[in-house]
Amino acid sequence: MVEQDWWQKSTVYQVYPKSFKDTNGSGTGDIKGLTMKLDYLHDLGINIVWLQPVYISPQNDNGYDVADYCRINPEFGTMEDFDELMNELDKRGMVLMLDIVVNHSSTEHAWFKQARQSKVSPYRDYYIWKDPAADGGVPNNWQSKFGGSAWQYDELTGQYFLTLFDKTQADLNWENEQVRKEVVDLLRFWAEKGVKGFRMDVINLISKDQSFPEDDGSVSPGDGRRFYTDGPRVHEFIREMYDQVFGPYHLVTVGEMSSTTLAHCVRYSNPEENELSMTFNFHHLKVDYLNGQKWELMPYDFEELKRLLSEWQIGMNKGGGWNALFFNNHDQPRALSRFTNDTIFRSESAKLLATTLHGLQGTPYVYQGEEIGMPNPVWNDINELRDIESKNMYRILQEQGKKPDEALDIIRERSRDNSRTPMQWDTTVNAGFTSGTPWIKVDERYPEINVQSQLEDIDSIYNHYKKLIALRKELPIFTEGMYERLDECHPQVYAYARINEQETLIVMSNFSDQDVSFSIPDEFWNERMDSKVSELLIGNTMHTPELAQDTPLSPYASYMWIIR
């Protein structure tokens, strides 16, 4: 068995700085706020902190629109604050993973400002410019992921530039060697400062089909994505970053892979390829998209969720890749509200999701607030929302014929703001997030759902996470065990095993509010259980059941046993 890398045994904590902790009353979280909370994260057992963008930015997409990659946005603090954060992490044996957004820059970036001046600017070719189509319209039918055309017309020079996201996020031209050199420079800048990891934003979109074809929709949605997703030179470009920065500085890297495939993710994350340490994919978080459409609601398909998780467990293992495991992030509604019950069974549900995820092979990511079971907030009206995507879609859905109420119902479920409301620290005003006016509302349930009350409660969701994180560090089976699914299309239960030569880990979760029962298949039971003993490692009910071939499961019950 290959020696496990330290980051395979680690759990990453994702910090959305804008909503984590404000120390100066501005209403926006800051770097000092994160530093202040490091003991909290350390106590949880975290050793890698993923800090989302804190660079200079007009904040049209909350920092994913970068105007200067090597300076800190004053809203978040100063470079001294950043250095202090690094020191304090180091003291606790923790490391920082920075979010790197280089598929695009803000149109406020000096490169773009120069590029737009004239067609002969030395920076022109840093971006992707095209002449209008013959009829004067957009160069092709590619769509922005935030709605509308992906092309923006620039009056001054009479050409269009490409923006796969917001109209102020201009796609960088990775075909230009100079751009790739700039990226390597900025990565080095942060590596030299002691950053130990990078999360690479939508990194599988950087290589575009250079013929920029019209998408006839015959293969996928017809929005152009197949011409820039996992594109022709993407592996080459990533490897270049590996050779120059990731490898030499021994960094842990995770790539955010939009609409990707298993085969590509194997390649991105197999150590022999010298690209990345691991990948995020989103297939399992589209199981409630009607016909694959995010803005069309349907109840989630449980069987499909299990099928996808299993396919990626087996496929990545087989190909020698490594999964980044997650149910939540700043772009997703809270999994607790989405897949389980966030009211009467909130605590059971949050623990069930945690146990189910942390038992899988890969490196788990905890998104702020997940560890205390924060649900989607209550949205009373559209003006409470802040996200550019939600605002665009609220308008577009109405243009498509939805009534304002119907549009709001969809936004309520799908908005990225569901996970962006302030972290709930305690029962004081604004949940202890800020003494000022928060940039986005604090969910009204904070008096009940907050960190303080959970730290004091031995049975809290927080303490459940803490235990899971510790188990992973302790027991090799979490990282090396082979995955095997145990439920055959059970309508309520997801059950799987992780297997190595000496041990078997069993994870069993009832994703419903019904009392159900589950039987471990005979063959598996006879072979693995034999005369061995089992121990309950973690569960979420008052009683602590012995492992049996037939197990009754109360609503949202979830258990993890080890057989030795």
Q: What is the closest distance, in whole angstroms, from the C-beta atom of residue 294 to ligand GLC in the complex?
A: 12
Please choose, from the candidates 154, 162, 272, the residue with its C-alpha nearest in 3D space to the C-alpha of residue 208.
Answer: 162
Confirm if 508 and 495 have CB atoms less than 8 A apart: yes
User: Is 171 an interacting residue with respect to ligand GLC (CB under 6 A)?
Assistant: no
The one catalytic residue in 256, 342, 370, 389 is 256
Q: Give whichever of 30 and 201 is closer to ligand GLC, judged by the CB atom.
A: 201
Subset of residues 494 to 533 that bind ligand GLC, contact rule: CB under 6 A: none
For residue 351, what are the CA distances in angstroms to 226, 459, 485, 514, 536?
37, 10, 20, 17, 15
Least separation in angstroms between residue 162's CB and ligand GLC is 13
Q: Identity (one letter) of the amino acid at 92?
A: R
Query: Is position 367 an interface residue for ligand GLC (rule: CB under 6 A)?
Result: no
CA angle 379, 281, 396 (to 5 degrees): 40
Angstrom distance (rounded) from CA 60 to CA 107:
11
| Nearby residues of 270 by Cβ (< 8 Å), 6 or more positions away | 319, 320, 321
Question: What is the helix (H) or strand (E) element at residue 237, kind and residue range?
Answer: helix 234-241
Confirm or reject binding of residue 64 to ligand GLC (CB under 6 A).
yes
Q: How many residues does the chain have?
A: 564
Site string for ligand GLC, 236-265 (x = CB under 6 A): --------------------x---------
Minimum distance from CB of 173 to ligand GLC (Å)?
17
Task: Work out whether 202 is an interface residue with ligand GLC (CB under 6 A).
Answer: yes
Q: Is 201 in the site for ligand GLC (CB under 6 A)?
A: yes
Closer CB to ligand GLC, residue 396 or residue 548? 396
> Which two structure tokens, joined as six digits, stand for 358?
């942390």
Which residue minimizes CB distance to ligand GLC?
64
Q: Tell me how far, at minimum, the Cβ of 416 lies from ligand GLC, in Å.
A: 7
Considering beta carbons, is residue 347 or 415 the nearer one to ligand GLC? 415
Count other Cβ atoms within 10 Å, centred on residue 218: 7
Number of residues this chain uses to bind ligand GLC (CB under 6 A): 9
Shortest distance in whole angstroms from residue 183 CB to ligand GLC = 15
Residues numbered 322 to 361 that lie near ligand GLC (CB under 6 A) are 330-331
Beta-strand (E) ranges in 1-47? 12-15
Catalytic, 201? Answer yes
- Given 165, 268, 302, 494, the residue binding ligand GLC (CB under 6 A): 165
CA of residue 280 relative to chain centroid, distance: 7
Q: Does 101 bind ligand GLC (CB under 6 A)?
A: yes
462, 451 Cβ separation under 8 angstroms: yes
In the block, which residue shows the tokens 């934003």?
201
Distance of alpha carbon 354 from alpha carbon 340, whole angstroms: 12
Catalytic one of 22, 75, 171, 201: 201
Residue 399 backbone phi and psi in degrees, to 5: -60, -30
Closest CB to ligand GLC among residues 57, 510 = 57
334 close to 285: Cβ distance less than 8 angstroms? no
Could you give phi then psi for residue 539, rounded to 5 degrees?
A: -150, 175
Q: Measure the CA–CA gap between 201 and 199, rounded to whole angstroms.
A: 6
For ligand GLC, the closer of residues 126 and 496 by Cβ is 126
Judged by CB, which is closer to ligand GLC: 61, or 487? 61
Residue 297, classified by CB atoms within 10 Å of its CB into exposed (0-12), middle (13-18) or buried (19+), is middle
Query: Which residue, 228 or 496, has its beta carbon nearer to ligand GLC?
Result: 228
Q: How many Å apart are CA 190 and CA 96, to the nearest integer?
A: 10
With beta carbons less than 8 A apart as the criterion, state whether 323 and 362 touch. Answer: yes
Sign of CA dihedral 554, 558, 562, 563: positive
Q: Is 256 a catalytic residue?
A: yes
Query: Rule CB under 6 A: is residue 417 a binding residue for ligand GLC?
Result: no
**Does residue 61 interact with ligand GLC by CB under 6 A?**
yes
**98 vs 486 by CB, closer to ligand GLC:** 98
Our finding on whether 69 is near ligand GLC (CB under 6 A) is no
By CB under 6 A, the residues from 467 to 486 that bind ligand GLC are none
Label residue 26 exposed, middle or buried (CB < 10 Å: 0-12, 13-18, 19+).
Answer: middle
In whole angstroms, how far apart are CA 121 and each of 68, 112, 124, 168, 283? 19, 10, 5, 19, 41
Q: Rule CB under 6 A: is residue 30 a binding residue for ligand GLC? A: no
Compute the least distance from the CB of residue 331 to ligand GLC, in Å: 5
Shortest distance, position 517 Cβ to ligand GLC, whole Å: 40
Closer Cβ to ligand GLC, 55 or 496, answer by number: 55
The DSSP secondary-structure symbol of 189 reads H
The residues annotated as belonging to the active site are 201, 256
Interface residues with ligand GLC (CB under 6 A) are 61, 64, 101, 165, 201-202, 256, 330-331
